[in-house]
């Protein structure tokens, strides 16, 4: 399952019925340089899907009544539960506009790089590495931070030494393993010693989401330089 977060728009709230209608996905290029096409939503009955908070199955909020594609967006209507205080609190925060972002969990069935025709129609897609053309919605969640990978990267940057962070950025922005290796070996923005060689061994550039996915769950007091080094090795397939 792939998860994507979006800056969303709550279109309607019915307090008496505890119902919310929201935009949960768009055709925008996300922070992973990917696009989820709204019209690629596989048509099926999505009523009854559980809505969670932050994809946490221990924190259900309600149940969907319908999900549909309309006007280049994916819209969903769900009913919030009144059986738990947590669900009541989350509904109140959504009603007040404090929480207004959603993240979808989906199973892609067709995807590729942007086609020449798509690039002609939407030149900005040159910045996209992948377009999801058909996908099945598995669940969606109300989230506190739509741009989660970027926010996590910011949180990580505050805990990593400037030298390690510079090395991390150099690897992420390099286009080839050779370029990464050269920047590390020449000391350009790189930490000296074992960490630099570990970074240079990475097989490719890493997106913010890939980096964040490995280390976001481990943001605790520890040797963050060593953790980042091990994280690169993990994503590159050298650690189990």
- Count of structural domains, the chain: 2
Confidence at residue 32, expressed as pLDDT on a 0 to 100 scale: 81
181: in domain: yes
Which of 97, 120, 146 is the C-terminal boundary of a domain? Answer: 146
Beta carbons within 10 angstroms of residue 201's beta carbon: 15
- 24 versus 155: the higher-pLDDT residue is 24
pLDDT digit string, tens, across residues 92-110: 988 888 888 888 889 999 9
Q: Phi first, then psi: what are they for 128, rounded to 5°?
A: -95, 135
HSE (side-chain half, CA atoms, 13 Å) at 203: 6
Per-residue pLDDT tens digits for 8-60: 778 888 888 899 998 888 888 887 889 999 999 998 889 999 999 988 889 99
Domain C-terminal end among 124, 146, 168: 146
Residue 200 has pLDDT above 50, yes or no: no
202-238 tens-digit pLDDT? 434 455 555 555 555 444 444 555 555 565 566 555 5
Quote the domain boundaries for residue 16.
2-146
Between CA 74 and CA 55 the distance in angstroms is: 18
């Amino acid at each position: 399952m792939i998860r994507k977060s979006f800056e969303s728009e709550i279109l309607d709230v019915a307090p008496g019925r505890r119902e919310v209608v929201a935009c949960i996905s768009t055709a925008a290029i996300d922070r992973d340089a990917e696009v989820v096409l709204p019209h690629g939503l596989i048509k099926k009955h999505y009523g009854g899907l559980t809505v969670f908070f932050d994809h946490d199955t221990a924190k259900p909020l309600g149940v969907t009544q319908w999900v549909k594609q309309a006007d280049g967006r994916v819209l969903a209507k769900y009913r919030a539960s009144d059986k738990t205080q947590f669900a009541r609190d989350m509904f109140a925060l959504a009603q007040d506009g404090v929480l207004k972002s959603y993240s979808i969990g989906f199973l892609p069935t067709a995807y590729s790089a942007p086609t020449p025709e798509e690039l002609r129609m939407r030149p900005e897609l040159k910045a996209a590495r992948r377009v999801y053309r058909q996908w099945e919605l598995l669940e969606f969640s109300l989230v506190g931070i739509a741009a989660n990978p970027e926010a996590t990267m910011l949180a990580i940057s505050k805990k990593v030494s400037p030298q390690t962070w510079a090395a991390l950025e150099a690897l992420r922005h390099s286009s080839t393993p050779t370029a990464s290796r050269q920047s590390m070996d020449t000391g350009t923005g790189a930490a000296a010693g074992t960490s630099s060689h570990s970074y240079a061994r990475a097989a490719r550039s890493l997106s913010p989401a890939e980096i964040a996915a490995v280390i976001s769950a481990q943001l605790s007091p520890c040797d963050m330089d060593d953790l980042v080094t091990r994280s690169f090795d993990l994503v590159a397939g050298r650690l189990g």
